[in-house]
């Protein structure tokens, strides 16, 4: 069996490191062809020494010399830098699949290049579909590529739909742990810090996504992602707060039957399923024990306390470039909160004001998305 050559966009992040663990468990099937990072030079170099990729890319060109020096003992590994290098490396002929796990808007262009090069896409970068879902789906259809979801929720929905007719779907059930502030009242939410928010109760994720989970913006993004991936309108996507994180999401069909995927919170499972679909491969790790799982709870989200979820629904309904505005403003606000430059509740205020000010375009193309992102970031920053 020919080994599948994988390019990991964002190999030093949470998804990337877990993907490398999956690759290490199946060395007869998978090989890391290229690893990329934005700023994590030392970690990228360590991964390169361990997994022997053909190439590495550091997106921030200021770190090129440092990375080159750290890999001076490995002349067989090609070292590149810059955003254009990311766009080019995904097009390399040996690459069979691309794991898009870069965080934020930065993942859009390299993912588009990978699609146009005919690569299988394992999508962990939800912002790609948030910002440009319609464009992405057109390209996937035009270039006849496979797009497999890696987010645990969307993988669960995908697994629930395997073998089913999409026309039978009544609604999608999108679960959410509720984050660390689920039981806080508004008064307590006014004083929470980034350190508080980064203590996610069930999932091990990067800082940006963990903050988005605390504000429920991440769930809003996932509603958008589900809309594009599964062709179900937002009003038929129901968000369920599920603190135990056992039911990863599911589907209710027209006859009332519900299918869902359950398991322990382990991102390696959806990563591996995207790599191996339609096969299921062995995976070392904890197993769900139903005798220890004493209860499964589900609650309606409180959009008054967590307005970011409502802002996401508003952006979906307005359409056009508004989700792009939402995403850019959120990236600015999220980073500001992590740096102590705005409050937890202040993030939603910044996003809402930005959405009301940035130019609206009902029929955006890639150039509009790029200009919208720049404008929205500038407007959001002005409110800090």
Provide the annotated binding site for NADPH. 12-15, 125, 127, 206
Q: What does the block give as tokens for 203?
A: 């999932």
Residues whose CB falls within 8 Å of the CB of residue 370, separated by 6 or more in sequence, listed in order: none
Q: Write a three-state SS string for 330-384.
A: HHHHHHHHHCCCCCHHHHHHHHHHHHHHCCCCCCCCHHHHHHHHHHHHHHHHHCC
Residues 299 and 241: their CA atoms lie apart, in Å, by 5
Please enumerate, by residue number, every residue annotated as part of a binding site: 12-15, 125-127, 151-153, 177, 200, 206, 213, 218-219, 222
Query: Cα separation of 275 and 296, whole Å?
Result: 29
C-alpha 178, offset from chain centre: 17
**Residue 228 near residue 129 (C-beta atoms within 8 A):** yes
Structure tokens at 22: 């999956």
Residue 235 carries which DSSP code? G
Q: What count of other Cβ atoms lies within 10 Å of the Cβ of residue 1? A: 5
CA 326 distance to own-chain centroid: 15
Binding-site positions for 1-deoxy-D-xylulose 5-phosphate read 126, 152-153, 177, 200, 213, 218-219, 222
Burial group, residue 231, by CB count within 10 angstroms (0-12, 13-18, 19+): exposed
83: burial class by Cβ within 10 Å (0-12, 13-18, 19+)?
A: middle
Please, are residues 318 and 352 in contact by the beta-carbon 8 Å criterion? no
Residue 4's SS3 state is: strand
Question: Is 363 in contact with 311 (CB distance < 8 Å)?
Answer: no
Residue positions in the annotated binding site for Mn(2+)? 151, 153, 222
CA distances from 74 to 24, 56, 69, 204 (A): 20, 11, 10, 32
Helix, strand, or coil here: 30?
A: strand
């Amino acid at each position: 069996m020919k080994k599948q050559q994988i390019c990991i966009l964002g190999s030093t992040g949470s998804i990337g490191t877990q993907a490398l663990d999956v690759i290490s468990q199946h060395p007869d099937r998978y090989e890391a062809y290229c690893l990329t990072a934005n700023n994590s030079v030392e970690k990228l170099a360590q991964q390169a020494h361990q997994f022997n990729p053909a190439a590495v890319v550091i997106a921030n060109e200021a770190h090129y010399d440092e990375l080159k020096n750290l890999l001076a003992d490995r002349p067989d590994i090609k070292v590149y830098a810059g955003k254009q290098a990311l766009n080019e490396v995904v097009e390399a002929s040996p690459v069979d699949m691309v794991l898009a796990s870069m965080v934020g808007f930065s993942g859009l262009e390299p993912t588009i290049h990978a699609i146009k090069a005919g690569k299988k896409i394992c999508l962990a970068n939800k912002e790609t579909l948030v910002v440009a879902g319609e464009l992405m789906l057109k390209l996937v259809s035009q270039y006849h590529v496979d797009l497999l979801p890696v987010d645990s929720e969307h993988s669960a929905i995908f697994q629930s739909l395997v073998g089913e007719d999409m026309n039978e779907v009544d609604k999608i059930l999108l679960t959410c742990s509720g984050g660390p502030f689920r039981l806080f009242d508004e008064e307590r939410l006014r004083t929470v810090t980034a350190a508080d928010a980064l203590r996610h109760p069930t999932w091990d994720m990067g800082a940006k996504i963990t903050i988005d989970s605390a504000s429920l913006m991440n769930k809003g993004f996932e509603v958008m992602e589900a809309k594009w991936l599964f062709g179900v309108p937002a009003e038929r996507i129901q968000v369920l707060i599920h603190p135990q994180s056992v039911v990863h999401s599911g589907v209710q069909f027209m006859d009332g039957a519900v299918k869902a995927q359950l398991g322990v919170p382990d991102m390696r499972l959806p990563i591996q399923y995207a790599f191996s679909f339609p096969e299921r491969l062995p995976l070392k790790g904890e197993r769900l024990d139903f005798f220890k799982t004493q209860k499964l709870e589900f609650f309606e989200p409180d959009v008054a306390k967590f307005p970011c979820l409502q802002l996401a629904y508003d952006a979906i309904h307005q359409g056009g470039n508004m989700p792009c505005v939402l995403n850019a403003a959120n990236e600015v606000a999220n980073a500001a909160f992590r740096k102590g430059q705005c409050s937890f509740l202040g993030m939603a205020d910044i996003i809402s004001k930005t959405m009301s000010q940035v130019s609206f375009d009902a029929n955006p193309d890639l150039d509009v998305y790029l200009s919208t992102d720049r404008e929205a970031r500038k407007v959001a920053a002005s409110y800090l």
